């Protein structure tokens, strides 16, 4: 529900006397896209490979030695297999694998987090270019960013300091899994987790459909951790109780920001309200007027919902938008 650590793309270096032919072959047969180095990091997925092409004759490669950069939509092991099977490996004089890449999210004092990671794994704190210039195949680079890591990131999204660690990326990732939340929390100073409760009420009783829709958005926006869910009762009026489905959310976002998301989710594009999503913080319900913010000209909940729905949709990729559309079509169908 909140992504803190993930793999980066694999990076390999091919040294070749035939760089132009190799570019043509990799692009034509494996769907590779020639790119600038910065753009390559922004577009490459976790299971993609960034190929750096250089002239032969050098045992260590500097960033300045790169002649071409290609993003290949294949894992590195599959790429090597395809190169051999298609009989074009003769174009490659030699190759080596760059350090493995991990990307970690930070909040608050990122300098403190980077220092802690470096001390724990006896790493070197360096600029990214220097990490690649010094790094070997059996080493790892941890990059840091204050952006959600469940999206592609550009080099500009990363902090300027990174950690080069003398450990292969698979072993390091296994160790990091049990420690990453500790590192993450070290960045907090005046910032803490908010413990919130979201209550779903649907007069048409399609609770699980709306729950699935809520999970889709919370996951896509990377807002926090769901630590529990249960059925309960709410009392909107005296002597009146209604069934609700309760979700407990731990988040770093201010409760008002979560309320804005929920108001957006309550409405469709035309302003139709399809669900009640109440937000409880410290035992108190956060009412919708508190989320007006800069939208003071909006006098109705529906108008506000249309604004915040657009904001939510703008942060989704096409696949997530399609899934949301499918779920909302099911919601509409359930009412006939």
Same-domain pairing of 200 and 127 = no
Q: Are residues 168 and 216 in the same domain?
A: no
Q: Verify that 139 and 209 share a domain, yes or no.
A: no
Among 186, 216, 249, the domain-final residue is 186
Residue 50 pLDDT more than 90? yes
Q: pLDDT tens digit string along 10-22?
A: 999 999 999 999 9
Decide if pLDDT at 236 tops 70.
no
Say whether both 173 and 94 belong to one domain. yes
Total domains present in the chain: 2
Q: What is the pLDDT of residues 61-106, one digit of tens each?
A: 777 788 999 999 999 999 999 999 999 989 999 988 889 999 999 9
Q: Does 166 lie in the same domain as 225?
A: no
128 and 171 together in one domain:
yes
* Same domain assignment for residues 75 and 205: no
For 272-284, what is the mean pLDDT? 94
Burial class for 165, CB neighbours closer than 10 Å (0-12, 13-18, 19+): buried
**CA proximity to 126, closest of 95, 97, 96, 166:** 166
pTM for the full predicted model: 0.81
CA angle (181, 97, 70) in 5-degree steps? 95
Residues 182 and 209 in one domain: no
pLDDT tens digits, 285-306: 999 888 887 766 666 888 899 9
Q: Are residues 204 and 152 in the same domain?
A: no
- The predicted pLDDT at position 307 comes to 92
Q: What is the mean pLDDT of residues 189-206?
A: 88
Q: For 100-148, how does the pLDDT look when each residue is reduced to its tens digit (9 = 90+)?
A: 999 999 988 999 999 999 999 999 999 988 898 888 889 999 999 998 8
By residue range, what is the domain housing residue 71? 5-186
Find the mean pLDDT for residues 186-195: 81
The pLDDT, as a whole number, for residue 173 is 93
Q: Are residues 79 and 136 both part of a single domain?
A: yes
> Residue 56: pLDDT above 80?
yes
Query: Residue 59 has what pLDDT?
Result: 66
Please identify, among 132, 158, 186, the residue that sits at the C-terminal boundary of a domain.
186
At CA 189, angle to CA 186 and CA 190, rounded to 5? 145
Q: What is the pLDDT of residue 120?
A: 96
Whether residue 157 sits in one domain with residue 207: no
Pair 14, 151 in one domain: yes
CATH number at residue 309: 3.30.70
Angle, CA of 106, 112 and 115, to the nearest 5° = 105
Give the H/E segment covering residue 176: helix 169-186
pLDDT above 70: residue 238: no
**End position of a domain, from candidates 166, 186, 206:** 186
Mean confidence (pLDDT) of the chain: 90
Task: Express as a percent the part of the chain with pLDDT over 90.
Answer: 63
């Amino acid at each position: 529900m909140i992504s803190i650590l993930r793999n980066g793309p694999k990076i390999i270096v091919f040294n070749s006397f035939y760089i132009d032919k190799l570019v043509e072959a990799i692009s034509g047969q494996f769907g590779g896209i020639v790119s600038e180095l910065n753009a390559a990091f922004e577009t490459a997925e976790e299971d993609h490979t960034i190929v750096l092409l250089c002239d032969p004759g050098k045992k260590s490669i500097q960033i300045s030695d790169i002649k071409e950069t290609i993003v290949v939509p294949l894992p590195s092991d599959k790429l090597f297999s395809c190169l051999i099977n298609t009989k074009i490996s003769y174009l490659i004089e030699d190759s080596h694998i760059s350090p493995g890449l991990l990307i970690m999210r930070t909040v608050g004092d990122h300098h403190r987090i980077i220092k802690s990671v470096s001390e724990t794994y006896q790493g070197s704190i360096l600029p990214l270019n220097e990490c690649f210039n010094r790094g070997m195949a059996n080493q790892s680079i941890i990059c840091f960013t204050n952006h959600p890591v469940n999206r592609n990131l550009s080099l500009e999204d990363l902090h300027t300091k990174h950690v080069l660690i003398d450990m292969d990326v698979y072993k390091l990732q296994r160790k990091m899994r049990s420690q990453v939340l500790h590192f993450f929390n070290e960045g907090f100073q005046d910032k803490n987790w908010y413990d919130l409760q979201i209550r779903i009420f649907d007069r048409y009783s399609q609770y699980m459909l709306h729950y699935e829709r809520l999970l889709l958005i919370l996951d896509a926006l990377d807002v926090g951790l769901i630590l529990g869910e249960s059925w309960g009762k709410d009392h909107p009026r005296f002597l009146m109780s209604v069934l609700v489905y309760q979700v407990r959310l731990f988040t770093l976002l201010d409760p008002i920001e979560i309320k804005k998301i929920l108001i957006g989710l309550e409405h469709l594009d035309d302003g139709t309200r399809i669900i009640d999503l109440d937000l409880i913080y410290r035992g108190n319900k956060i009412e919708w007027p508190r989320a007006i913010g800069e939208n003071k000209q909006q006098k109705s909940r529906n108008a506000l919902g249309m604004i915040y729905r657009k904001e939510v949709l703008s942060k989704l990729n096409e696949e997530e938008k399609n899934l949301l559309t499918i779920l909302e079509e099911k919601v509409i169908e359930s009412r006939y």
